[in-house]
């Protein structure tokens, strides 16, 4: 099976793609995975490190052909606030819960979550349910617009777990919280 071993950044390529893959947010965070394009081309994504792919990136096949990455629409909520200070306050609460968040010109987008929606509404924000591609910020430790993870996300489960104060973690959690339990993962 032909392999895709490199990524060309958003719109930094001009060639016509050989095929297109439509991926949701989770499937755009991989290192190694069999993929099939919309026109039927099957290939193995085989990158040295896990990379956060963005809509507009291209995967480079071993023979030089390109596979365009398209971000799939997902169920999201768009959060609107009354002014910039209110938006920053709501954004702080989302960041405190380590939620992947997309910053838009007039608001914030997150995945639908009834608990977080209730919190945001309780902070006085307006919530609009939408279907759209999800392209959240890469985080403080993501270099050059592509977050490089230290491990293969496909190799183990990153299910959410709760702490006091409804504190959530996901694959973007990158620091020590000093709780009385381990955040260790078995990395092989």
Residue 91 backbone phi and psi in degrees, to 5: -60, -40
Under the banding of pLDDT at 50, 70 and 90, the label for residue 139 is low
Q: What is the mean pLDDT of residues 86-106?
A: 94
Under the banding of pLDDT at 50, 70 and 90, the label for residue 130 is very high
Number of Cβ within a 10 Å radius of residue 125: 22
d(CA 184, CA 188): 12
d(CA 153, CA 31): 7
Which pLDDT value is given to residue 166? 41
Under the banding of pLDDT at 50, 70 and 90, the label for residue 178 is very low
Which pLDDT value is given to residue 188? 39
Q: State what percent of residues in the chain have pLDDT above 70.
A: 73
Is the per-residue pLDDT at 165 higher than 50? no
d(CA 118, CA 54): 29
């Amino acid at each position: 099976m032909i392999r895709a071993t490199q990524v060309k950044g958003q719109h930094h390529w001009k060639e016509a793609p050989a095929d297109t893959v439509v991926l949701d947010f989770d499937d755009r965070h991989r290192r190694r995975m069999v993929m099939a394009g919309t026109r039927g081309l099957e290939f193995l994504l085989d990158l040295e490190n896990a990379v956060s792919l963005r809509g507009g990136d291209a995967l480079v096949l071993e023979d030089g052909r390109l596979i365009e990455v398209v971000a799939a629409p997902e169920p999201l909520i768009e959060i609107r606030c009354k002014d910039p200070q209110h938006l920053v306050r709501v954004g702080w609460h989302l960041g405190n819960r380590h939620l992947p968040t997309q910053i838009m010109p007039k608001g914030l987008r997150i995945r639908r979550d009834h608990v977080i929606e209730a919190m945001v509404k309780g902070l006085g924000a307006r919530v609009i349910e939408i279907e759209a591609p999800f392209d959240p910020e890469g985080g403080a430790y993501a270099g050059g617009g592509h977050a490089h993870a230290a491990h293969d996300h496909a190799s183990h489960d990153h299910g959410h777990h709760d702490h006091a104060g409804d504190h959530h973690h996901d694959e973007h959690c990158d620091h020590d919280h000093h709780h009385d339990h381990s955040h260790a993962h078995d990395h092989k």
